[in-house]
Amino acid sequence: MTKLLTLGLDGAAWHKLDRMMDEGKLPNLSKIVAEGTRAPLQTVLPPVTCPAWRCSTAGKNPGKVGVYWWLNLDRETGRITSPTANSFDTADTWDYLSEAGRRTAIVNVPMTYPPTKIHGTMVSGFGAPFEVELEDEPMTYPPEMQDRLNDEYGWQVGVDDVHAPGGVDEALDLIRSRFELLFDLLDEGYDYIHLTIFYINVLQHHFGDGPETERGWVLIDEYLGELPDDLTKIIYSDHGHSHIDHTFVVNKYLLDKGYLSIERRTGDGVTGGLYSLLNRVGISIRTAGMLARTVLPKSLYKRIVKSGYPIPTFELANRVQWDETDAVALSQGPLYINRDRLGDDYERFRADLKAELESITIDGESPFEAVMFAEDVYDGPHIDKAPDLMLIPTDAWEIYGGITPSVVERQVTSWTSGNHPTGMLLVHGPDVTAGELSARSILDIAPTVLRYFDCPVPTDLDGEAFAEPFYEGLPETRQRAPIAATSDDTTTDDGELKRRLEDLGYLE
């Protein structure tokens, strides 16, 4: 029988779950909460699926794993590329458990493609191609596991568009397939299983607290009710969620200040004017884009989008004139400075830009809770790749990486609900006490899992195990040297991943 399950619920936040539990909509989660130990869980910055899940399985901050967001910026060329699983310069819990002879199943963790050879089974999560040829690009280890996914579960990596007719049902079917595989794996002699449920996060982004998202949580709750009571479970999220009311268009600000240079196109002014008109009558960029996708031929829609405002993040990457640019930002907070261009003036520019951004107020409120230097957020051998500044939005604000005609958008540009640094942690099982903990770190998950199995903890981990929820605590900490990572610093201009991120709203 499986000894430990870690269940990842992407984007889960206690304030949203508590509301649904109070309304009686999540009875099984309510039971687990009453019997187990809960805590808020602080994630890495920015609070994003990539790299947060891999930071949780490695127990390290992004400065040690070398990935900071869904995309990487090449400082020499200004190109934006996509990381792969091999971009993460780290060993993970499954490597240490495998070496200790523990049979392990790792299912659906984002950014685990290509899969790792482990003592057990790995099924790559989001970041794997939606269509995979088994002979050429297996998304499972062992490779033949992919046949089982297709034959028994109708496995799909993702949904093309949750707004399309039947899109929400497809997302719910994805969630079902993950749990159906989990319940079969629980009976197959694994010591440790991890499963991430990613598409509940997609529903939250696109539908907020609406009925579509609620259907997802109710479905998850039904499966939680089927988990064995005698199974120890650590349920946690990679980040939380909060409602978005306003958007700060950071690259429009940098453009207006002369810090960012982009290739101009003749359609910018025309479509910018049309966008402004739609905005004045209450039609947001998101709504306009959805309508255009629905009613326009695909070829025409693409021409309009590429012709001018709004310039989505994925298109901006192709228009930045890096040799003439001092600074450029990505969505959700990372801001990069052109160190080669600025030379000896880099530190002064960075400090001045930080102070400048901190001084911004909109109707008496700053859009940023904090503007931080990289070295105040990260540490490790890859800090040279880190964003020079990290912008942390104030609650109800979104930081948008594309460009619209206005620096401040009073309407939501992409999502109705955005990522928040505080997620959730819940521990339950026959060896777990009932109660609450103060806030823990997402980096604490990996050392807790290792100590649960009495495995030595690598000396390079940042997190610390939590023993309080367990009646008898955890085995004493033993340390070991880290397993050498197999990272090859792989990045790619993978168009499919960028398209999928655009579909999810990260690059709109």
Residue-wise pLDDT for 88-111, tens only, equals 999 999 999 999 999 999 999 999
Q: How many CB atoms lie within 10 A of CB 411?
A: 16
Percent of the chain with pLDDT over 70: 84
Q: What is the mean pLDDT of residues 303-327?
A: 76
pLDDT of residue 387: 96
Please give the structure tokens belonging to residue 172: 């719910």
pLDDT of residue 80: 82
Question: Binning pLDDT at 50, 70 and 90, where does residue 133 land?
Answer: low
Residue 363 has pLDDT above 80, yes or no: yes
Name the DSSP class of 331.
T
Beta strands 4-9; 232-236: pairing state? parallel
Q: Is the peptide bond before 310 cis (omega within 30 degrees of 0)?
A: yes
pLDDT of residue 313: 80
Alpha helix (H) ranges present in 258-323?
A: 267-280, 285-295, 298-307, 313-316
Which residues fall within 8 angstroms of residue 276, CB to CB, at 6 or more apart?
A: 405, 406
The C-alpha atoms of residue 215 and residue 321 are separated, in whole angstroms, by: 45
Question: Binning pLDDT at 50, 70 and 90, where does residue 73 land?
Answer: confident
pLDDT of residue 280: 46
Please give the structure tokens belonging to residue 111: 């950014």
Residue 135 has pLDDT above 60, yes or no: no
- Check: CB of residue 39 under 8 Å from CB of residue 436: yes
Please give the structure tokens belonging to residue 92: 């993970």
- Check: CB of residue 57 under 8 Å from CB of residue 65: no
Of 286-295, 309-318, 366-375, where does the model show the most confidence?
366-375
H-helix or E-strand spanning residue 191:
none
More confident call, 280 vs 210 = 210
The C-alpha atoms of residue 490 and residue 480 are separated, in whole angstroms, by: 27
Residue 345 has pLDDT above 50, yes or no: yes
Q: What is the mean pLDDT of residues 4-30?
A: 98
3-state helix, strand, coil in the chain (%, to 5): 35, 20, 40
Residue 441 has pLDDT above 90, yes or no: yes
Residue 306 has pLDDT above 50, yes or no: no
- Check: CB of residue 437 under 8 Å from CB of residue 428: no
Question: Binning pLDDT at 50, 70 and 90, where does residue 278 land?
Answer: very low
Three-state DSSP class for 494? coil
The C-alpha atoms of residue 442 and residue 237 are separated, in whole angstroms, by: 8
pLDDT of residue 417: 76
β-bridge partners, 246: 397
pLDDT of residue 376: 97
Closest CA to 9 of 231, 219, 191: 219
Q: Mean pLDDT, the chain, as a whole number? A: 88
Please give the structure tokens belonging to residue 10: 């992407």
pLDDT of residue 299: 56
**Tens-place pLDDT, residues 367-386:** 999 999 999 999 999 999 99
Sign of CA dihedral 386, 51, 192, 157: negative
pLDDT of residue 404: 86
Q: What is the mean pLDDT of residues 41-49?
A: 97
More confident call, 333 vs 500 = 333
Q: How far is CA 459 from the centre of its chain?
A: 26
Residue 109 burial class via C-beta count within 10 angstroms: exposed 0-12, middle 13-18, buried 19 and up: buried
**Tens-place pLDDT, residues 170-218:** 999 999 999 999 999 999 999 999 999 999 999 999 999 999 999 999 9
Q: What global pTM score does this model have?
A: 0.90
Question: Binning pLDDT at 50, 70 and 90, where does residue 490 land?
Answer: low
Lowest mean pLDDT among 296-310, 333-347, 349-363: 296-310
More confident call, 318 vs 305 = 318
Q: How many CA atoms lie within 13 A of 102 on its CB side?
A: 23
Residue 488 has pLDDT above 70, yes or no: no
Q: What is the mean pLDDT of residues 442-462?
A: 98
What does the DSSP assignment read for 458-476? ETT-------TTBTT--PP
Residue 304 has pLDDT above 60, yes or no: no
Three-state DSSP class for 428? strand
More confident call, 443 vs 417 = 443
Please give the structure tokens belonging to residue 33: 């909460």
Question: Binning pLDDT at 50, 70 and 90, where does residue 414 land?
Answer: low
